[in-house]
Structure formats: C-alpha cells, structure tokens
Chains A and B, each alone.
Chain A
C-alpha cells in the first residue's frame, strides 16, 4: 500500500492555487482522513480496548462480583496464571481437547473440501445449483446447527433410527451418554458445518491455478496424479494455509454448537476452552480467573496463527495490498 497523501493535491489542483492554499488542502485531506476513521476508532477503543485492558488488569486480581467493586480487588500477581497452567487440569484438558478437536475437524474438513473441489473441476450438468446446495451448511447459524444435530442424535432420533434399520434393533447407541460418542457428535457437527468453507476457498483457489504449468507438466510426462501432487497442490498451498488459519481461529473459539449439543458433557468430555471460560465466569462467577484463562488462550492462538502463516505471510500481505 502506498502513501498517496503527497501526490494527490498536485495531480488535481483545480486552479493555479497559491502555495499556502495547496498546503492547506493537503492538511484538509489528512483531517478528512482522520475524521472518517474516528467513529470506528472510538467504538473500538471504548467497546474493545478498554474492556480488554480492564480484563487484563483483572486477571492479576482475585476479583469476583460477590466481592464488591472492581477497585477493591486484591492484586495477586501471576497467581491466576500459575493456577491455570500448573494446577487446573480442567483448563489444560480443555485446551488440549480443543486442539485435538481442531486437528481432527480441520483435517477432515480439508480432505473432504479438497475432494469436492477437485470433483467440481470436472464437467457435469447442474454444477451451479449443486454448488449452492453444498454451501448451505455454512449459511446456517451455529446455534441452529448445534440444535439440529442435538435433535438428530437423540436416542430415538433419525440417525439412531437409520442405524437400527441397517443393523437391527438395539444397535443404536446413546450418543450423549458416552464421552467418546459425544465427542464424535461434536466433530460430525463441526465437519458438516464448515467443510463447505474449505470447499469454497479451495475451489476458488483451484480455479485460479494457471493452466499452462499444468499443461507443461503433462507434456513433460507427468501422470494426472503427479500433476496434482507436484504442481497443482504446491501452487494451491497459500490458499490452503489461508483456509486453515481462518478455520483454526474460529474452531479455537468453538462454543455455540457445543453449548447446544452437549453443554460440554458428559462430565467435561466435550468441554472446549470457550465453554470452560464461560462456565468459570458466568456459572461460577470467577471472572478474574476466567480473564486470565482468556489471555493465555489469546497468546496461544497468536503463536499458533503466527506459525501457520509463516510460509505464506508475504503472499497474504501482497494479496491485501
């Protein structure tokens, strides 16, 4: 992105302005630019930055709504952080669980999405309508997705009825009573919901892959499989990374669907980071402790995204500029 601030006034001088006038114009431009940015900045500062600073301060205290005003909170240094990382196995488990969910869901979403995108490179009738149909899940709001799958996975729900139809009466499980099965419902729900996003992004990427390198590879004797793995996929890599980063950021915050599906249960077997922080803060009123957990998560996420972005950071920045 270039700074055009100084070049524009000359280019569009309307009349033969005196020097001071055009200088005033330059200043006016800058003022206008700042004025246009101001409302957004104000909102962001008051609604995001201030609360975050408060939360940051709070994370070093033992404050809880039952203990009176925030100003009377006792400063306890890194106690909350130490507690979380060293003693709070539920937090550590929630973090690991969320990461495992993320790894499984993202892999499945990527593989299915890529497979679909590759199928969509072929010629067939009704492609446009099928494309829209396959995108439907990502247009459904998360709460409704969670609710729908909660209903589908009920012990006498349609999924179990189909299972009994196929494998006989008594074959169907009680999805929300077993830790493993409940975890599977979460994964199935997430994969159903967000595979379309991978499909959409990867198909855009595949369609943007230039034709000639592919032809060149074919002429050089590469088999369709070699063309795909050695030429197409590497050229698609930046887009793949972008899709993973976007989805990783979202799935680390996973809340709505799990809230509707399992509330984190049975036990805490499907409890994600967000769900745990929510319970800490709004069920147990340990707001300060929850804030500390949130900052740990933010730091972790930043690190993760930084890592994921490393191979394509420059391309990403160029794409935006």
Chain B
C-alpha cells in the first residue's frame, strides 16, 4: 500500500521496539549460562565473562553446582523433561490423527453446520481452571489423577478443536476432483484419502502438528492440578523451582526456562506463516 522508505526517527523507533522485544529473551539466555557468582551481581552482568553449562547440568544432576560451593536444587528436572516430552508428543500425535479424520469428514462428508466455528470458540472461552475442577473430581474417582493417561486425554480434548479446524482449512484447499479421479482409477474412498488427500496437505499437516505441539508443550494449569508424585512437566517443575528456591537459583531456573522455550521458538519460526491461521481458526489467511 505504501512503498515509502523508513525515515530515521521511525527506524530508531523500530530499533527500540526490537530491543525491548528481544531483551527478556536475551536476559534469560544469558542468565542460563551465568555461573552462580554472576546471577545476582550488582551492577548487573549482562553477558557472563565465563559462560558455563553448569546450570543445565544441575537440572539433571542436582549436585553439579557443588563445584561453585552452592547447594543445588532439591530435585532434578529429568522426570519433568521426560513427562513433557511424553505428554506433548503422544497427545500431539493423537490430536492430529483424530483431528485429521474429523477434518476430512467435515470437509468431504458433512457440512458441520454454520454454528460449528462458534461452538469451537465457546469451548475456548471456558477458563481451564474451571474445566480442571470436574477433571480432578472425576479423575480421582476413577484413578486417573496423577497419570499420564489422564493428562494426555485432556490435552487431546483441549487441542482437538484447533487440529480439526486448522486441518480442515487445508483439506478444503484440495479440490475434491483430485480424489474423485483417484476413485475412478479404482481406489476406495479410504485409500484415496490416504494416497491422495493426505500427501497433498503434507505442509499443512506439518504446520498443524507443530502448532498443536506448541499448545501442549506450553500447557501449565492442567499439569499443575493433575500432578502429585508420578507425573510432572517442565512448566510445573519451573513453578516448583521458583517456590522452593525463591530468588536464589536464578541460573538453574533460567536454564530450565530455556530448555522449555527453545523447542517452541524453533517450532514457531518453522510455522511462522501459518501462525495467523492457527491462532484465528483460519479467519485470517496469509
């Protein structure tokens, strides 16, 4: 709409916004590689002179900080990393799989009705804290509390509207004539979907998978209320570190935060062009 160049004041403004945007990420990255002496230094140490991986080591070996004469964390984050990976990967795979079936059904075999998007939106409006209440009651009654099975079931249910909707918008973009042609060649419907439809939306499938993974990996509240001793995820462990060691173990906390953040930032950049579509249920396409 306008091809005007950036004037100097505007360029400076943009530069300032970029600095403010990146500073928190920069700070946490730097803190994660600071030795304990630098964590709380006054004046602040922006870039550590002797970067170290000891904070990351401490996550898996609570005593690793001993070389600096600092007591470590009470509990390693190993289980949390395992828990996050397990819950996120399994729930993402199932959510995308089930969502794909539903997306094909909605796109090819039934209208789904004009109200569907609004129903999905309503589902997103219910505060998770409120959904968590009956979960905890029912799950404790049937023994699913503090199990990965229970956590994964919730993750699937919560992300299903997103995966279904995002995938449907990709399936809609495949002309149905392509499948019909395959069926004229003698393929069954199911085979036609498997060999024609799905390969054609590979890119969309990939983007959806990463998007759902981001949602699952970021989830905090359900994991918090469903975990007692057996299950744990990285966000829950981070919260526990902050309560248990308030303010003293910045480096280790930051290391866990970085561990939590890195996969998502990478996934986010990989699907940058689909983020608007995912976040707006396809109302905004790029």
Contacts and interface: CB of A to CB of B under 8 A. Distances in A.
Interface of A: 1-5, 8, 11-12, 14, 28-30, 32-34, 36-37, 39-40, 43-44, 46-48, 50-52, 54-55, 58, 65, 70, 112, 116, 119, 121-124, 130, 132-145, 147-152, 154, 156-158, 161, 165, 192, 196-197, 200-201, 204-206, 209, 211, 214, 224, 232, 239, 242-243, 245-246, 249, 252-253, 255-256, 259-260, 273-275, 277-278, 281-282, 287, 290-291, 293-295, 297-298, 301-302, 305, 316-317, 319-321
B129 A139 contact: no
B122, B128, B153, B257 interface centre (most CB from chain A within 10 Å)? B257
18 contacts: A1-B111, A2-B111, A32-B190, A36-B104, A48-B131, A51-B134, A51-B138, A55-B130, A55-B134, A58-B134, A133-B18, A139-B268, A161-B44, A245-B121, A255-B128, A273-B127, A290-B133, A320-B282
Nearest to A250: B124
B43 A161 contact: yes
Contact of B153 (A47, A70, A302): A47
B279 A158 contact: no
Given A147-B257, A204-B286, 20 more contacts: A32-B105, A33-B105, A36-B109, A39-B101, A48-B157, A124-B6, A124-B11, A156-B42, A161-B42, A204-B284, A204-B285, A206-B1, A214-B1, A245-B121, A246-B280, A255-B127, A259-B220, A274-B221, A278-B132, A319-B282
Nearest to B97: A39
Interface of B: 1-6, 10-11, 13-14, 17-18, 20-22, 24-25, 27-28, 31, 40, 42-44, 46, 98-99, 101-102, 104-106, 108-114, 117, 121-138, 140-141, 153-154, 156-158, 160, 164, 169, 176, 180, 183-184, 186, 189-190, 214, 217-218, 220-221, 225, 235, 238-239, 242, 247, 250, 253-254, 257, 260-261, 264-265, 267-269, 272, 275-276, 279-286
Nearest to A45: B157
B157 A47 contact: yes
Given A148-B27, A305-B125, A5 B110 contact: yes
Nearest to A259: B239
Given A253-B128, A294-B127, A123 B5 contact: yes
A54 B138 contact: yes
Nearest to B110: A33
Closest 9 CB pairs of A and B: A294-B130, A33-B109, A139-B268, A51-B134, A47-B157, A36-B105, A141-B218, A55-B134, A143-B235
Contacts of A12: 180, 183-184
Nearest to B160: A40
Contact of A152 (B27, B40, B164): B27
A148 B55 CA distance: 16
B53 to A, nearest CB: 19
A280 B131 CA distance: 14
B127 A297 contact: yes
- A contacts with B: majority SS: helix
